[in-house]
Each structure stands twice: as structure tokens, then as C-alpha cells.
Amino acid sequence: MSAAAAQVPGGAAKLISCILPDDGTERRLLHWLRDQPGITRANSVYGRGQAMPREASARRGQLPEPSLVRLVTIVVAAAEADALFDRIYAHAQLHRPEGGTLLMTPLTFATPFMLPEGLANETDHAS
């Protein structure tokens, strides 16, 4: 291993992916995650898909009409992943009908990203 590679911080991590309906749950989850210890990497994107199990009718041979969904991804240290997974499930209320889907996959390596101290929270522009 080279000297430069030995100086890169990081380690075993897991990727938690949460597919949520477009109902504000994603924004509430991100606000909650910001205050959780050890969370330094989270991302959110929107897309169209059939993420939530639901009654869907379609013509024979065709897929049901997709809906707008939010994908939240969180990178967390492997040692903390199981506990965070359970807390996300409860906080995002994924047990409710059409509440969403939660997945966890291992990552070989992840480098932590630390924000500077004292950054203010962004303002909420939820409509």
C-alpha cells in the first residue's frame, strides 16, 4: 500500500436506500437525518416508478402508470448500519400502506465527508 493510500480515511460502510412516496416524507427524513450522530452522507433524488406496493390496474401486457417517488440514499459505517436501518424504518413510517421500501447493501469502502462546524440549517421551502 502506498503512503498516499494509507492516509485516506474511511472503512467498511453500507448504503441504505429508501424509496418513498412524494408526500413530504423524504424532506422530514432528511431533516431528521441531519441531527443524527454519525450521518455525514445522505442524498435525495426524484424519479418515476412503481416503488410502493399498491393496487394498480393496467391493460393486459402493459405496466401500470408510474408515480413520482423520492430516493434517499445514506452511506453509514457498517457497524452502525443495522441500528440506523431500524430507526429509519420507524421514523419514515414505512409500515403504513404505500409507505415505501427500504434496502441495505454493503459497500467495499467509503470515505467520510465532514461539513465544517457551525453551518446553519437550510430554510425549509416546502410547499
For residues 21 and 114, which has the higher predicted lDDT (pLDDT)?
Answer: 21
Q: What is the mean pLDDT of residues 4-20?
A: 75
Q: What is the mean pLDDT of residues 56-66?
A: 71
Q: What residue spans define the domains of the chain? A: 20-53+66-110
* pLDDT surpassing 70 at residue 67: yes
For residues 7 and 21, which has the higher predicted lDDT (pLDDT)?
Answer: 21
Q: What is the mean pLDDT of residues 67-73?
A: 91
| DSSP sequence for the chain | --HHHHT---EEEEEEEEEEESSSHHHHHHHHHHTSTT--EEEEEEEEE--S-------TTSPPPPEEEEEEEEEEEHHHHHHHHHHHHHHTTTTSTT--EEEEEEEEEE----PPTTPPPPPP---
* pLDDT surpassing 80 at residue 110: no
pTM reported for the whole predicted model:
0.72
60 vs 27: CA distance, rounded Å:
36
